[in-house]
Amino acid sequence: MAEGMVMKTLRLKPNACPATSPLPQAGGAGGGLPGLRLALTLAAALTLSGCVVAVGNNSAAPPTAAANPKLAGMQYLYGSAEADAISRQAWNALVTYAADRVRRPQADSVVLAQGASLDTPRFVPCADKRPAAVFDVDETVLQNLGFEYDDLNGRSGRDFNMRWRAWEQSDGHAVLPTPGAAAAIADLRTMGVTVIFNTNRDDPAGASRVIDAAGLGPAVHGDTLFVRTDTATGDNKDARRWQIAQRYCVIAMGGDQLGDFSDLFNTPASVADRRTRADAPRIAALWGRGWFVFPNSVYGKALKGSADDIFPADRRWHPTGE
């Protein structure tokens, strides 16, 4: 019998058992093989009387740590082959669409014009401007692996803004491009499309540094890089988009949040209303045809809603009688 076998439980019909204390251990005083043989002999004898016998180490198993609620989203986005495939799928579709727009220029960009609505969208005209593609940065063209690892495993109770500021100013070694991003951005540049980054980071030098670290640069502030502090509109990006659209014909945009496409998605709304906005007929036609969404199961406005918000009342189910 292998020495590693230190626990064995035997059960026959219930009966009175002599003692509740554990049998001799397989090691230590009286241990080794003689001790193990003694323990098994006693176990066999007690089994005949119907007792449940524990042989070996009776120490309690260590408690299992509770899973961090953020872990599942990170498993999907940063670890799964499925998220990798979705990202590459989006980049491949974007490059194919952009190539077609370069070959067959259209009159309008994909940037909503000032005063437009989601129900009656109007777009900034191209007017013979050079083609460009505009992208959000975080979890669109690069993955913030270092920051999210710290968020998962670091000390709790820390100030988010201070941590994010430190992350923006870091050297960028703990990021990776999103799957497919590097090849797609290179393809866009090769076909003559200017790649522009429109991020809600505050530090332009740090943003440029991290884009370079991910192998996606160059990103020149005020030319091909725009940050939150460039306008007085906070996290809303329309003012920056309109500034870009004055110089370029924006033929494609990519982001992981709906606000990466229009500020009209940022006004407060219920879970159902947000989906209705995305499904508006003329808006729905843009997904995959000018507007390209990348997966993000880790943070953002998408991660909202209770079970009642998510599941329609007429589509709920339990087994009969439960």
pLDDT of residue 144: 98
Domain ranges of the chain: 7-15+22-56, 86-307
Q: Taking each helix axis from N to C terminus, what angle separates 81-103 and 181-190, rounded to the nearest 10 degrees?
A: 10
Q: Enumerate residues 6+ apart whose C-beta is below 8 A from 182.
A: 214, 215, 216
Q: Give Cα 143 to chain centroid, integer Å.
A: 9
Q: Look up the pTM and report it.
A: 0.80
Which tens digit of pLDDT belongs to each residue from 192-248? 999 999 999 999 999 999 999 999 999 999 999 999 999 999 999 999 999 999 999
Would the pLDDT of 254 be above 90?
Answer: yes
pLDDT of residue 4: 41
Q: Average of pLDDT values for 39-67?
A: 50
Distance set, CA 55 to CA 21, 62, 167 (Å): 11, 19, 53
Would the pLDDT of 57 be above 70?
Answer: no
CA distance 240 to 290: 18
94 forms beta bridges with none
pLDDT of residue 272: 95
Provide the token pair at 196: 């522009």
User: What superfamily in CATH does domain 86-307 come from?
Assistant: HAD superfamily/HAD-like (3.40.50.1000)
Residue 259 DSSP symbol: G
Helix (H, G, I), strand (E, B) or coil at 101: helix
177 forms beta bridges with 142
Helix (H, G, I), strand (E, B) or coil at 147: helix
CA distance 221 to 204: 6
Which tens digit of pLDDT belongs to each residue from 96-113? 999 999 999 999 999 999
| Torsions phi, psi for 291 (to 5 deg) | -115, 130
Q: Average of pLDDT values for 107-130?
A: 97
Q: Which amino acid is at 69?
A: P
Residue 68 — very low, low, confident or very high, per pLDDT cuts 50/70/90? confident
pLDDT of residue 212: 98
Would the pLDDT of 141 be above 60?
Answer: yes
